[in-house]
Structure 1
Amino acid sequence: MEDTEKSKLEEMLTCPVCRDIFKDPRQLSCGHSMCMGCLEGLMDHSADTPLFRCPDCRADFGQIIGVQRSYALANIAEDVRLNKRRRQDEQRKGVYCDFCPEKRTLAYKTCLKCEVSLCQEHIKDHLELPVFTGHPLVRPLCDILERKCSQHEDDVLRYYCSTSRRYICNLCALESKQQNLVTEASTVLRRQLTLLT
């Protein structure tokens, strides 16, 4: 299966609440699904309000919600989760420490700031020395560019944007927030101008 097909399938199997692949998916009467744990959390959170709303389509359900277990969706999600874990394990096996070229020691973590993969011996400096404070350490990555923003090459993808359904960096998040503020301000100004005329 191609990477685009895999990512599209993973996106379709993503819970709108926890943004992870479904775990014990339940289907609402509107047709949307979410993890049972997420559904229980939302119901607990909205216990003081009389209405429960679907996080996808915002349909109102009242206090009584009819849900059913989606067995086919649960099986597909579990299969995708296992395949994803297997791919990550295979990738991790192929990433070696950049400071041990002779030994070909498997990497323990990748530093996104330094753009190097480090074994357990060489990671000690990153964990102990204050100069490396703030260096994001992630699981070993074959291709460091998969965690870098394509627009702002130095920034790491940190936040999930629900409108574009992808991970974005700090600068993209800031630009998006500023764009939203400008849109809100222009809407308020338009309303005020309409009221004056």
Structure 2
Amino acid sequence: MASSRGPALNEELQCSICLEEFTDPVTTPCGHNFCRTCLSKCWTNTQTCFCPLCKDTFSKRPDLKINTTLREVVQHFKEKLNLGESEVFCDICDGRKQKAVKTCLTCPSSYCESHLEPHLRVPRLKKHKLINPVENLEDYICQKHERPLELFCRDDQTCVCLSCTEGEHRTHNTVPIEEESREKKVKRYKHNTLNTP
């Protein structure tokens, strides 16, 4: 799936707060883009409005308008991506397979809305790692331990599971994958702004 997306384009179309593709993108006076709801939540219960990315402070709350051009680019990107993607179907459905809404890395299986329901209700299943449906499930599972890849080993620059950290990666610097992803985005942003003429 990652190969069908243009990685650089995809990252440019993601909000740095929610790390998802923009929804109703707005632009701050300093030129950074965020989802309207993400930025609103960021500014709720605060006296000072500032850019979550560069920390520029605004003397008064900016009147933010939706960046219609960026919204159209994101929509076009999503449509193009969906055309190139094959659908993921529920592994549990008998007969006519329903489209999967989530993939569970713990089980490992993909579920339609009705078969996902126990994961949302049963306390033990609520602890499972759910992600958006993926075809290539093996890319998200440790091939050695058959557990979800939830951590990033900074020493070896690779994704690892919890069992890996009890073995060969025991003394290594590991962080949650989401944290590593956020830090790389910030570093890339800083690198791009420092190298812009």
Relative to the length of structure 2, the TM-score reads: 0.55
Alpha-carbon spacing, 1:130–1:91, altered in 2? closer, same or farther (3 Å): same
Deviation at 1:12, TM superposition (A): 0.6
Q: Is 133-142 or 122-131 further displaced after alignment?
A: 122-131
Quick check: 1:25–1:34 contact (8 Å CA) kept in 2? Answer: yes
1: CA distance, partners of 2:45 / 2:18: 14
1:180 maps to none
Q: Which amino acid aligns with 2:106?
A: K
2:87 maps to 91
Alpha-carbon spacing, 1:110–1:60, altered in 2? closer, same or farther (3 Å): closer
Identity across the alignment (%) = 24
User: Quick one: which of 128, 136, 139 aligns to 1:143?
Assistant: 136
Q: Deviations over 1:76-133 (max 9, x none)?
A: 0111233344555x231xx574898xx7956756442343457899989989999977
Quick check: 1:52–1:61 contact (8 Å CA) kept in 2? Answer: yes
Alpha-carbon spacing, 1:117–1:59, altered in 2? closer, same or farther (3 Å): closer
2:186 maps to none
2:78 maps to 81
1:31 maps to 31
Alpha-carbon spacing, 1:45–1:15, altered in 2? closer, same or farther (3 Å): farther
User: Quick one: which of 50, 69, 78 aligns to 1:72?
Assistant: 69
2: CA distance, partners of 1:27 / 1:7: 22
2:40 maps to 40
Output aligned runs, 1:168-179, within 5 Å: 175-176=174-175
Alpha-carbon spacing, 1:136–1:28, altered in 2? closer, same or farther (3 Å): closer
1: CA distance, partners of 2:6 / 2:149: 22
- Structure with bigger helix share is 1
1: CA distance, partners of 2:58 / 2:81: 34
Quick check: 2:27–2:34 contact (8 Å CA) kept in 1? Answer: yes
Relative to the length of structure 1, the TM-score reads: 0.55
| CA-atom RMSD in angstroms | 4.6
Deviation at 1:149, TM superposition (A): 6.0
Alpha-carbon spacing, 1:121–1:28, altered in 2? closer, same or farther (3 Å): closer
Alpha-carbon spacing, 1:71–1:176, altered in 2? closer, same or farther (3 Å): same
Gaps of 5+ in 2: 177-197
